[in-house]
């Protein structure tokens, strides 16, 4: 399940820390610029290393492996997101879990008939979410089932 992480604030790091990654999980660290991507990748790699250091879960950074063979692949290169959406069953857009971010654009993953999970804070993307199917909203602070849009 790919995460799209552009706003790497404490809330998103906390969400990633609680998430139980499965085989073939992908973490996309954003697309602002190469420097930001590398900084986020370092932080997320440390988070994954600490969480799985005593397990058999494997992980890699895409810029180093150029494949998705590890259990967790941290996608730390620009221009790969649409390729990932095309092979994904479910995408979690992280911006909807941050009050100030306003959500992420759901159109790209929706184009590939991917299930999209987002937080409920989508004020910058509301009309785009209204135009898509297979979008589910979740409040990260509870365990209630996701609401479908």
pLDDT computed for residue 111 by the predictor:
93
Query: How far apart (Å, rounded) are the C-alpha atoms in residues 2 and 121?
Result: 19
Query: How far apart (Å, rounded) are the C-alpha atoms in residues 63 and 90?
Result: 22
> pLDDT digit string (tens) for 9-66?
455 555 555 566 555 566 766 656 777 778 778 888 888 888 888 888 888 898 999 8
pLDDT computed for residue 6 by the predictor:
47
Alpha helices in the chain (DSSP H): 10-18, 34-52, 62-65, 81-87, 107-111, 126-130
> pLDDT digit string (tens) for 72-92?
888 888 888 888 888 888 888
> pLDDT digit string (tens) for 106-144?
998 999 998 898 889 999 999 999 999 889 898 755 544
| pTM (whole model) above 0.85 | no
């Amino acid at each position: 399940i790919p995460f799209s992480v552009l706003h790497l604030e404490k809330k998103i790091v906390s969400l990633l820390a609680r998430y139980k990654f499965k085989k073939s999980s992908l973490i996309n660290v954003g697309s602002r610029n190469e420097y930001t991507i590398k900084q986020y990748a370092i932080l997320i790699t440390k988070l994954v290393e600490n969480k799985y250091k005593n397990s058999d879960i494997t992980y890699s950074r895409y810029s180093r492996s150029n494949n998705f063979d590890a259990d967790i692949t941290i996608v730390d290169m620009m221009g790969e997101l649409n390729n990932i959406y095309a092979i994904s069953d479910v995408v979690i857009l992280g911006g909807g879990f941050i009050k100030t971010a306003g959500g992420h654009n759901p159109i790209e993953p929706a184009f590939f008939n991917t299930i999209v999970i987002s937080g409920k804070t989508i004020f910058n993307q509301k009309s785009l979410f209204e135009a898509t199917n297979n979008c589910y909203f979740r409040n990260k602070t509870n365990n209630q089932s996701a609401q479908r849009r």
